[in-house]
Amino acid sequence: MKFKAKHVVASLVLLSFLVAGFSGCKDSAPVGKRVVKIAYLPITHALPVFEAKEELEASQDDLQIELVKYGSWPELLDALNTGRVDGASVLIELAMRAKETGVDLKAVALGHKDGNVLIASPEIETAADMKGKTFAIPHRQSSHNILLNDALAQGGLTSSDVTIVELAPPEMPSALASKQIDGYCVAEPFGAKAAVFKVGKPLFTSEELWSDSLCCGLVLTNAFIEGRAEDASHFVQSYKTAGKNLNKERAKEIAKKYLRQDDATLDASLQWISYDELEITPEIYAALVERVERYGLSDAPPSYEDFVKNEL
C-alpha cells in the first residue's frame, strides 16, 4: 500500500481563507452554569453539537455547552485523551483506536449519517480512472479512508494502485486546484467547496458506496459519565433532540453561524447529510467494524458492548 503522511502546501489565494477558520479557540464558560466541555473541528459533521448548545442556551437550562475548537484531529484527540474536555465530536475510527489503546471513553451517539463525498479532478470519470493517481484523506483512521477503499473496489482496484496522502482538510481544495493531488475524501464543507469553485467534482457520494455510513460520533469520557451521570444523560438527550431538529433550513442557519461558509457551499454540502437518527445500533456498528478490519485500520476494534453506550 502506497501510503504517505505527506504535507501538501496549499498555494491558491482563492481558497486560503479556509485555513484561518480552522484555528483553535473556545467559548467562555457561562457564569453559574454547569458546563460540559465538548471539543470539535469546524465541519458540518458537528452541527448537532452547535444546535444543542443553541437550544440549551435558549431554554436557559442550567446545563450549558462550552465548545472547544481545534485545528486538527491529533490536537483534539490529545485534549480528549488527557481529560481537558468532557467529550468530543470526533472521527469514530479515531475514537475506536483511542479505546483500543486504553483511553476510557464511550461513544454515545452518531454525529450524522452519510455526508461525505469523494472529490476527483475533472478528467477522472470512473473508479478505474483512479489508478496511479494521488488521493488525500484527513487521517488513516477515518471513514474517508474506508470510503476511498470502497471506491477503489468499484473499479477493481486496491489501495496499492494509488498513492494516499494525509492532508489537513482546509488545504485539500487548493491542493486539488494546483494539481498536487488528483482527488480527496474529507468531511464537509470541503468537498462542496471544490465543487462550487469548479476545481473538482463528486465522483461518489458516501451513500453510493456505503449506505447509512458512519463517520463522526459523539464520545464522552467515562470520568464525565460516571462523575456527572445526570448531566451526561441530559446532555446526550439534548444532543439527540437537536439532531432531529436539524432539517435542511435549520442546518444551514446553524452552519452559517458556526462555519461561516457561503450559501452555495452550504447548499451543496447539506444535500449529502442527515442528522435525524443518531443512535449507534449494533447493526451499523457491525458494518463499520467489518470495514475497519477489511481495510486494515485495526486488527482488534473494540466490541459494541465495550465501546458504545446508548443509554445513560
Quickly list DSSP for 202-225: EEEEHHHHSTT---EEEEEEHHHH
Do strands 2-4 and 163-166 pair parallel, antiparallel, or not at all (unpaired)?
A: parallel
The Cα 189–Cα 170 span in angstroms is 9
Q: Is 127:203 a contact under the CB 8 Å cutoff?
A: yes
pLDDT at 96: 96
CA 245 from centroid of its chain's CA atoms: 20
- Could you tell me which of 207, 136, 216, 217 has the C-alpha nearest to residue 170? 136
Which parts of the chain sit beneath pLDDT 50?
5-24
pLDDT for 310 equals 87
In DSSP notation, 154-186 reads HTT--GGGSEEEE--GGGHHHHHHTTS-SEEEE
SS3 36: strand
Strand partners, 38: 67, 87
Helix (H, G, I), strand (E, B) or coil at 284: helix
Q: To 10 degrees, what angle do helices 248-259 and 263-270 make? A: 130
Q: What is the pLDDT of residue 33?
A: 84
DSSP sequence for 62-101 = SEEEEEEE-SSHHHHHHHHHTTSSSEEEEEHHHHHHHHHT
DSSP state of 271: T
Please enumerate in sequence order all residues whose Cβ is within 8 A of that of 46, keeping only pairs 6 or more positions apart, or say none. Answer: 40, 89, 111, 216, 258
User: Please, is 24 exposed, middle or buried when counting C-beta atoms within 10 Å of its C-beta (0-12, 13-18, 19+)?
Assistant: middle
Q: Are strands 216-221 and 87-91 parallel, antiparallel or unpaired?
A: antiparallel
CB 92 within 8 A of CB 214: yes
> What are the angstrom distances between the C-alpha of 170 and each of 141, 178, 179, 180, 290?
18, 14, 15, 14, 30
| Cα 88 from Cα 115, distance rounded (Å) | 18
Domains of the chain: 2-18+116-209 (3.40.190.10), 20-114+213-307 (3.40.190.10)
Distance CA 123, CA 85 (A): 44
Helix 92-100, helix 143-154: angle, nearest 10: 120
The per-residue pLDDT for 19 is 39
